[in-house]
């Protein structure tokens, strides 16, 4: 639905903003940038599965949402050479440079099959701006000056990519 709107209005890029979370007992922190492609690793795949379950908003069973993720993985395997993956990777690299240069701790740039990025006709990224399950990062994410810093870094990245 979101990518359909971006396509309809001929958006130059698509950016989906999120805050990350981990189950009790696991800790992580940092800004993460994802593109729609075969998963980089097991953790990236697991995050996509969890996000995809939430996106279905209870409309699908866990099994059905997981099946859709597996189907998406098969489709992605067939389109690995797709130009949008290359463009999205370039966009992610520019965002990485801009966020890092503003002093934002970038945990990684990775690939995963996120539903929200499916169907984008433009370079598309999903940004996990931090872990709300990490108390120090949750506090930082609620700070207005840090929010401004994040917004500025993301805007700079978009502007830089589009030049």
Question: What was the pLDDT predicted at 81?
Answer: 44
Q: Average pLDDT of the chain?
A: 87
d(CA 156, CA 15): 13
Tell me the pLDDT band of 101, cut-offs 50, 70 and 90. Answer: very high
Residues in CB range of 18: below 8 A, 6 or more apart:
51, 126, 127, 128, 129
Question: What was the pLDDT predicted at 56?
Answer: 56
pTM: 0.76
The mean per-residue pLDDT over the stretch 91-109 comes to: 96
Examine the pLDDT at 124 and tell me if it is beyond 70.
Answer: yes
Topology of the domain covering 2-162:
Aminopeptidase (3.40.630)
Give me the residue spans of the domains in the chain: 2-162
Residues in CB range of 145: below 8 A, 6 or more apart:
none
Lookup result for tokens 């990236």 = 44
CA atoms within 13 A on the CB side of 47: 27
Q: What percent of the chain has pLDDT over 70?
A: 88
Q: What percent of the chain has pLDDT over 90?
A: 56
Q: Which residue has better confidence, 50 or 18?
A: 18
The mean per-residue pLDDT over the stretch 25-42 comes to: 86
- At 130 the three-state DSSP class reads strand
Examine the pLDDT at 53 and tell me if it is beyond 50.
Answer: yes
């Amino acid at each position: 639905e979101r990518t359909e709107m971006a396509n309809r209005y001929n958006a130059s890029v698509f950016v989906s903003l999120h805050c990350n979370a981990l189950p009790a007992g696991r800790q992580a922190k940092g800004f993460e940038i994802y593109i729609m492609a075969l998963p980089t690793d097991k953790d990236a795949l697991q995050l996509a599965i969890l996000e995809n379950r939430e996106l279905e908003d209870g409309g699908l069973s866990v099994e059905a949402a997981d099946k859709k993720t597996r189907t998406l993985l098969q489709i992605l395997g067939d389109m690995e050479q797709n130009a949008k993956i290359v463009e999205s990777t370039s966009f992610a690299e520019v965002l990485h440079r801009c966020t890092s240069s503003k002093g934002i701790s970038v945990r990684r740039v990775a690939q995963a099959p996120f539903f929200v990025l499916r169907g984008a006709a433009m370079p598309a990224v999903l940004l996990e701006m931090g872990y709300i399950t990490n108390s120090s990062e949750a506090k930082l994410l609620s700070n207005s000056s840090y929010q401004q810093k994040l917004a500025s870094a993301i805007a700079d990245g978009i502007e830089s990519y589009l030049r």
